[in-house]
Every structure is written in C-alpha cells, then in structure tokens.
Amino acid sequence: MKSNQTKNLLIAPNPSDPALSQSVVGIDHEGNPVETRIVQERAITLYLNSQEVVTIMTIGDHPELLATGYLLNQNMLSNADSITGIDYDDDLEVVVVRTENSTNFEDKMKKKVRTSGCAQGTVFGDIMENFEAKELSKAAKIKTSWLYALTKEINTTPSLYLEAGAIHGCVLCQEDRPLVYMEDVGRHNAVDKIAGWMFANKIDPANKIFYTTGRLTSEMIIKTVMMGIPILVSRSGFTAAGVELARKSGLTLIGRARGKRFLAMSGEHRIVFDNEVSPDIENEARRKRDT
C-alpha cells in the first residue's frame, strides 16, 4: 500500500522490498553491534536482439525499463523504432530487447568511451551528433514555487536512500508534481529507467522537469537532452563540462537546490520567480561538499 507521500506517484520507491536491500550486522565507532540495511547490487546482462550489449550493475528493479532506456540513451534505439518484445529471465539475470527491424551497432561498440558515471556508464562516439541536433522546448517554464515544493516532497518521500543510503534517485516531474521516482546504485541507471518508462508510455518530454540527487556531469546533461527534457534540477553541484554542454544545448540547469536556495547555470529564461523567500522559513542545512 502506498503512503500518503507516494500515492500520487505513478512509480514510487519501494524501500520495503526485500529484493532491493538486506539487513546486515556490523559494529559502530564504539564497538557496539549495529544492525543496518544495505542496498543489493546485481549484474544484469542486456541483449539487443541476438547481440550482447553490456552487463549493468543495478539494484534489479524494473529491468525491462532499464534495458529500453539504456538503449535509447546510448543511441542504439530511437523513438521511431518498434520494440516487439522484452524478455527478462530472473534466474539467468538476462534481459533481451527485440525489435521489428534488425540492428547493427558493432561499429558503435568500437567507438564507446568511458564517462564519469558510476558502474558501467558509457556513451558512444556518434551520440554527440544527435545531441547537437536536439531542440528543447523554449516555452517550458519552472516556477520557483514549483521548485521549492518538488525538492521538499522528493527529499521526504520514503525511499531506499533514506532507508539504506548508497544509492541515487531520479524523478520525472511536471510543474510541482513528482510523477515517476526511480532509484539505483548508479544515477545513469535511474535515468535510463525513466527514459524506458517514457518510451513505453509515449510521454511528451517538452513540459517535464527532471530531478536528480547526483552531480550535474556531462553524462547527466547528455541523457537529459537526449530525452528531450528542457529542465534539469539537482541538490548537488556541477562540473565544468556539464555546464558547458547545458549552455550549448539551451538546457535549464539548476543545481545546489536545497530548501529555498539554488543556483542556475544555464537556461535562466525558463525560471519564473513567483515565490519570495520568507525570512522565517529555515533553509535546509547546506552540506560542505556535494554528494
């Protein structure tokens, strides 16, 4: 049963799922035994038709969405492609995406480059061509009141992060409403699961806002732009390459969003300042360093 904080989410974190975390016993700084929960991590191998693509380290939920989103964000599939089936074998830990037309991406596999994402994050050499051709909605807006409401709701939603830590979260939002909240050991996996959900449900990205708990790196900017989402928000900070790509693409990039504070580094024209900060509202404590 969903809690009041998750009942409006189409997909919410499930911190009580025993397949996603386990209880372990250690000792604390005083030598006392302590029981705590830690997230699971498992390997899932992805195939596109008969071709093995990658082995992904993941918590293991929504494997079909993860596989579809990965292929979309790696430019192996497009929104115009027709998927005829997705088969997942839990025992073999294999997911196979089948398409109507055969694909040949061996050349792309040779051109892949390692990126800053944790685990198995990769992008392929020709992806920048499509990145530069992407046009993001100029009409999209984010009101500061929406931003404040989103950050508060997302940060208090029951999640694996609050239960066990060591995990990233990504949330697809519209105006002040979180719609889909995904978590995974790598932030790129959480992004890919949302991309897979959007593809499966034919979701228009033009009026959406994307929230991530992770750093705003070049990989995060590339994935958000490739998904067609015009606004990206994080409670964490930026890299120089991420800011450069955001400005180049026209993405609205908002980081260090904690309480009533944030810093916009690109696409400021989409921000509507409709909610002044009341002096009696206490801001969230800012961490000394980005997580």
Render pLDDT for 135-179 as a digit per residue (tens, 0 to 9).
999 999 999 999 999 999 999 999 998 888 889 999 999 999 999
| Residue 129, pLDDT score | 77
- The secondary structure of residue 147, as a DSSP letter, is H
Q: Which two tokens stand for residue 227?
A: 């998904």
| Residue 109, pLDDT score | 56
* Lowest-pLDDT choice from 64-73, 140-149, 195-204, 279-288: 279-288
User: What structural domains and CATH numbers belong to the chain?
Assistant: 142-272 (3.40.140.10)
Q: Which two tokens stand for residue 41?
A: 């991590």
Nearby residues of 118 by Cβ (< 8 Å), 6 or more positions away: 185, 186, 187, 188
- Pick the more confident residue, 239 or 110: 239
Task: List pLDDT tens digits, range 32-46.
Answer: 999 999 999 999 999
| Residue 112, pLDDT score | 52
Q: How far is 83 from 199, CA to CA, in rounded Å?
A: 10
Q: How far is 83 from 99, CA to CA, in rounded Å?
A: 4
| Residue 7, pLDDT score | 72
pTM of the shown model: 0.86
> Crossing angle of helices 218-226/63-73, nearest 10°?
100
Mean pLDDT of the chain: 87
| Secondary-structure breakdown of the chain: helix, strand, coil percentages, each rounded to the nearest 5 | 25, 30, 45
